[in-house]
Structure 1
Amino acid sequence: MKPINLNQARKAKTRAEAKAKADENAVRFGRTKAQKVLEATQAQQASERLAQLKFEDD
């Protein structure tokens, strides 16, 4: 049986858990650059449309 370095094993386990959590968060919260640009464009178009429809009584 080969002896193992407990510090290395502990650190490897911690790294694996952090990577798993990061992957989970990327799926939950992550968006691609294209998705971000599309959403920003849609928001800008919506605000421009709202400004066009605004009724101002002078």
Structure 2
Amino acid sequence: MAEIINLRRARKAKARSDAAAEADANRHKFGRSKAERDRSEAAAELAAKRLDGHRLGEPGSDDT
């Protein structure tokens, strides 16, 4: 005899596996690794600090 399966559970399991496959494809297509994200975040912070370090004073204020 054939194994009796619950069609609702089978349908939900198939939907989950399809969603997982689509998510995996999107990760490969659009995603970056954690190291790449950390590296770009650190570079952006460094650039912002350098830019702020070269900032002149407010016009009209005498910081001399």
Q: TM-score range by the shorter chain?
A: 0.5 to 0.7
Higher RCO structure, 1 or 2 (CA under 8 Å, sep 6+): 2
TM-score, length of structure 1 as denominator length: 0.67
Count how many residue pairs are aligned between Structure 1 and Structure 2: 57
Q: CA RMSD in A?
A: 2.3
Q: Identity, % of aligned pairs?
A: 39
Gaps of 5+ in 2: none
Q: Unaligned regions of 5+ residues in structure 1, if any?
A: none
Select the structure that is richer in helix.
Answer: 1
Q: Which has the larger radius of gyration?
A: 2
Normalising by structure 2, report the TM-score.
0.63
